[in-house]
Amino acid sequence: MPWMKGYPYYLLLSGTISLYMGIFACRFRRLPGRRYAWVLLLLIASALVLTAAEIMASSFKIKLLMRNLQQLPLLFIPLFAYAAVRDYVSPLPSRFRRKLTLLSIPLVLDIAFIFTDPYHHLIRSSVGLVNTGGIIGIMVQPTLLSMALIAYDQVFGLYAAYLFAVSLRNVPEHKLKLNVLLLLGMLISVISSIALPALKITFTGFTVLTLLPSVAVVYFAVNRYPQLSPVPSVSDRLLGSAIEGMVLTDRNGVILSINETGEKLLTRMFGPVPFHWLGLSILSFLRQYPSILGCYENRQGGRIELEPAEEESLYCSISLIPLEGSPEEGAMLLMISDCSDQKRYERELEYQASIDDLTGLYNRRHFLNTFNSREHREGEGMAMLLMDIDDFKQINDAYGHLAGDQALVSFSRKVLNFCKNGAIAGRLGGEEFVLCLFARNEAEAVDKAEAIRRAVVGYTVMLEGGHSIHLTVSIGMIYTEDPDTPFEQLYRQADEALYLSKTNGKNKVTVGGHFSVS
């Protein structure tokens, strides 16, 4: 058969894939339900590669060595299959490792007997070569002792399948179908290995071929669908609260369980990660938020709101809940809520309450609040500029109120260009505007006021229908170096100066009762 020529290479390829899966699954080794899966995959990978080496070896001596080396992973695969399933279906007791060590003693003795068999023949009554379809391998006739030790080994595979089957009674409905498929894949390997002696199959490598379904089972259980475990997790208990992200971590910050919403929110907060969040340490990500990290490391419960770095970033709150008396001592539950919509709504309400809809400047109430909460600057005084668009009523009468609105918007944009270095601007009503800015002295404040007046004079507002208007502005200014001067006093003096600008020809800047150059 032509395909037989490539048979050892198929084994090598399968072994390489299993090895990759085992190395990848190693990152989950600290997670409940996945502590032993990576060992199982590496054992299967070793068995596949050593079988290929046996077939490809040219001498009987090397073939026999490869066959002997195969027995180490083959004997321990059922034991670690039991360990992996036991861990998968329920939390492991702290003494389980000790139990696993005791159970492995007969297997260690079996391996010792195999490598020393030429001296006592307790395990093999005869050893030779067998040729099946051009595939030459080692043929072994086992003794009763060998068969007894093999039977002892296979009990672990049967018991693992039994534990898996029993656990399905408590599996949530949404996990049942896939877990049944995993059980069937496992049964193929277990039943095939038990039936092998009765079938009298001498085909070299058949035993390891029956392990491939187990590779698929472990891959789907650990890597492809990490939330399949029948063990109740945060995702199951709080499935009805999917609007919140649930992240369960151990005392070292390793993520033990996470629901789908939690994965999405962590990805939005910290960016995507390779493969899964399970098994990663949350501490390296929380360093971006020292307030959360401090509470986490001190095992303090509480709720912390995170301000987004950008306007449209995720806005969320994180509740930290220490889990006392949990199987993983020092575990912490993080409940993450997406508050983005709520905060956007609040910001919209705040915007509507503080911003003039037409011009985008502060309205009168919010301007006063901002003015009263301003900080004083050392070495600088403050100037208040009251500004009034000249002949605004004539614009409305000649071109309509839409044109008047366009004029107000255009003027406001000019004023906004001067809102730098702590300056604040607002619309007090109609065509009257106010701008407060910092200046080192009155002369500097006058220069800034003149710059605004010139910017308005040199600007043409284009209206619909090809019409255009040229705006001018009258400005009344008052300068003070006293940071405690109340708004009402400044406003009254600036308003008097504005009145003088309007009555003395308009398009002027008046400072406290005398004119500046215009």
Distance CA 303, CA 295 (A): 10
Distance CA 152, CA 78 (A): 10
**N- to C-terminal Cα separation, the chain:** 104
Task: Name the packing angle between helices 7-25 and 37-56 (round to 10°).
Answer: 160
Smallest CA-to-CA distance from 283 within 292, 275, 274 is with: 292
Smallest CA-to-CA distance from 356 within 418, 404, 427, 433 is with: 427
Q: Residue 421 has which token pair?
A: 């270095």
In sequence order, what are the residues at sequence separation of 6 or more whose Cβ sits closer than 8 angstroms to the Cβ of residue 175? Answer: 227, 228, 230
The answer to whether 39 and 100 are in contact (CB under 8 A) is no
Beta-carbon neighbour count of residue 514 at 10 Å?
A: 8
Out of 350, 431, 432, 444, pick the active-site residue.
Answer: 431
DSSP 236-250: HHTGGGTTEEEEEE-
- Please state, in angstroms and as integers, the Cα–Cα distance from residue 98 to each residue in 102, 105, 182, following that order: 6, 11, 28
Q: In what helix (H) or strand (E) does residue 477 lie, and over which residues does it extend?
A: strand 473-480
The answer to whether 460 and 470 are in contact (CB under 8 A) is yes
**Sheet architecture: strand order including 244-249:** 255-258, 244-249, 332-338, 316-322, 302-306
Estimate to the nearest angstrom the gap between the alpha carbon of 493 and the chain centroid: 57
Distance CA 45, CA 43 (A): 5
Task: Name the packing angle between helices 60-89 and 144-167 (round to 10°).
Answer: 30
Q: Which residues on neighbouring strands pair with residue 436, listed in sequence order?
A: 384, 424
DSSP 473-511: EEEEEEEES-TT--HHHHHHHHHHHHHHHHHTTSS-EEE
The answer to whether 144 and 151 are in contact (CB under 8 A) is no
> Can 450 be counted among the known catalytic residues?
no
DSSP 151-194: HHHHHHHHHHHHHHHHHGGGS-HHHHHHHHHHHHHHHHHHHHHH
Active site residues: 431
